[in-house]
A and B are shown apart, each in its own frame.
Chain A
Amino acid sequence: MTIADPSPQSTRLPFNIAALVFVRERGIIVLWVLLLIFFAIYDHPYFASVSNFLLILNAASLTAVFAAGVGIGAISGTLDLSVAGVAAFSSVVAGKLIILGYPVWLALIAGMSVGILAGFVNGLITRRGLNPLVVTIGTLSMLSGLAAVVADGYTIPGLSKLTFMGTARYFGIPAHVYIVTVVYLIGTIFLTKTRDGIRLVAVGGNPEAVRRVGINSARYQLLGFVLCGACSALGGLMTAALVTEASPQANPGSIFEALTAVALSGVSLGGGRGSLPKVFVGAAILATISNGLTIAGVPPYWATVTTGVLLISALVIDRTLTRTISERLVVMSGHISHPKKP
């Protein structure tokens, strides 16, 4: 393999760099398609059906909502680990209000509000220069405890009024799929088409540079926390709607799966790079593996092993590809700056 000798007039990348960029940017979609084909063959005749595909999408939806929050946070340069605590607290607050006889809409607004507030508090504290990981671990602990206090240590059952956004199906498609579609549409438009969204991404890439051009970077990182809190609260409400009860127990699995989906999607955990639709594909990959292995009857431990392998592989591959692309581009720019003499 040789490096092409690009002329200064050419705007196209050499093939080998373009291929690496393609693998980094689109590899996750290829991986998902390969997994679907693999399980369609391996689990024949049980896997390849429309109803099973809808189940995969439904299973991916919850992870995808949590992952959207973690992903937006990561893109803005913050990592929020309080996701599970926010979800538990929001669902318990909403559940308590519903049980007390308040209207469902009010309970949902209250649940979302406490999530947004939790994100705001996380952001405010980290603005003082504290490490976001430590701060959000503290918030996770605090909110889990508060959820248990509100629920008096017990689950809050009987939330059948929430089934419209839980087990209900509309035109044969699960309610969660509609919710996640709306979340991802709004999130993608916000990050790519609005001034605040573009600035949020820029802040994640290089907060100091953004600050020097007069943008309040801390404000956008706070916004990242708030959006993460909102997504976490929504995930908690969706979980409560699915099981028709609110559990005060924070589920650490939600943050693990969300982080895996985010890492798989190529979102830079250092901030500044990432695509929300690919985060959904990351969640769909996890759901596909879980579905395929469950139907195959493979011992459940392998699903955990596979998820861990995927997470580490994704990080290693992303790091290697990014470094390789950078090195290639540096070499290429050298060719452009110092073209070969005839």
Chain B
Amino acid sequence: MKTNRNMPVLKAAAISLIASTIALSACSAPATPAAPAAPAPAAGKKTITFSPLALAIPALKGLSEGVKGVGASKGYDVIVVDPNFEPPKQAQQLQELINSGRTHAAWVIAINPGSMKPVLDLAKEKKVVMVVNGVPADYGYNGLQPGITFSRINYEAFGGGVGDLLGQCVKAKLGGNAKVIFMQSQEGAAGKKEQEDAMLAKLAAAAPGAKIVANIITKDRAGAQTSVSQALQANPDANAVMTTTDEGGLGALGAFKAAGKPIPCIANAGGNDEVLAAVKSGEMYGAAVLQFQKDLMQTFDAIETMLKDPSAPGKQKEVPLELIKSP
């Protein structure tokens, strides 16, 4: 009977032990092969941190793999952090890495540049070099700063390219008139206003007969597909789609196919592998594509230059952009 009475105690102790072991083993679990499993970098190796908007974005996940690969080939340890669209989390993670001396350089695609000035000031103080998106004014600076290179996405050109591509498609395939489903970015997305304003302006200039019949906020691909299906119920004669994201374009394509409607004119901003294939096959008319792989190489060049002299002023660069069209 005594054993029975003790069973719950033993069970509790066992569960505590297992839980602690799982938690601690999770903490110390080995990283994926490209990431360091131990905290300290190898002797003499410098560490580069990559902090994108979120690894949930396939293009940025792919970019993070590229950073790891290029970093390893150049003899760097690479840490990838995932702020998951949370600006405070991104600032916190970077402060931890810079403040502790764990990283020597960081490539940051800031979710909210306005909140990152304390991080950049800390980096300057600790001689940690940074490549960040945007321009100095986004971070509250008047000009270029020592040890910081700014990399700008030209949202006007990015959005304008999409609007222009759709206008070309409307003129070429629809005789200049179209009913357009406009798939916008989520509230608070970086560059949303500049990008979307430029899209509308360029579309109006290239195809004045194109009319927006539905506005949809794109959150993910499944949601985009559902929303476009619903928009098609209200606007069965919609025949063009202009979208700010890959997820929006692919979701719209799926919705038109599911509805058994002819493939419309689709112009897309982004350019993941699936979108590139859709453009190549002619399912999408065109896409404005940020050339992240080219940007990757120029970013590493900038980091290596700055690491040689962290007190020298950084530069202003721009993420390469390319417009592609179906053959």
Contacts and interface: CB of A to CB of B under 8 A. Distances in A.
B23 A306 contact: yes
Interface string A243-261: 1110111010100000000
Given A157-B114, A292-B27, A55 B6 contact: no
B16 A242 contact: no
B268 interface: no
B88 A249 contact: no
Interface in B153-207: 184, 186-188, 192-193
Interface residues of A, number: 70
B92 A297 contact: no
Given A320-B11, A324-B8, A313 B28 contact: no
B142 interface: no
B100 A317 contact: no
A18 interface: no
B126 to A, nearest CB: 11
A316 B86 contact: no
Contacts of B28: 42
B43 interface: no
Contacts of B81: 294, 300
A158 to B, nearest CB: 7
B11 A46 contact: no
B102 A295 contact: yes
Contact of A55 (B99, B114, B117): B99
Interface size class on chain B is: 35 or more
Contact residues of A: prevailing secondary structure:
helix
Contacts of A298: 27, 29, 31, 35, 37
A305 interface: yes
B19 interface: yes
Contacts of A321: 12
Interface stretch (A146-154, A201-209, A218-226, A275-283): A146-154
B115 A20 contact: no
B77 to A, nearest CB: 7
B15 A313 contact: yes
A62 B102 contact: no
**Most A C-beta atoms less than 10 A away, residue of B2, B114, B192:** B114
A308 to B, nearest CB: 9
22 contacts: A2-B2, A20-B9, A39-B27, A42-B27, A42-B39, A43-B100, A44-B40, A49-B100, A59-B92, A153-B192, A244-B115, A253-B84, A294-B79, A294-B93, A296-B27, A296-B38, A296-B39, A302-B29, A306-B27, A309-B23, A327-B8, A331-B5
Given A242-B91, A291-B96, 9 more contacts: A38-B27, A46-B101, A49-B99, A243-B114, A290-B93, A295-B39, A298-B35, A309-B22, A324-B11
Interface of A: 1-3, 16, 20, 23, 27, 31, 38-39, 42-47, 49, 51-52, 55, 58-59, 62, 148, 151, 153-155, 157-158, 160, 167, 239, 242-245, 247-249, 251, 253, 289-302, 305-306, 309-310, 313, 316-317, 320-321, 323-324, 327-328, 331
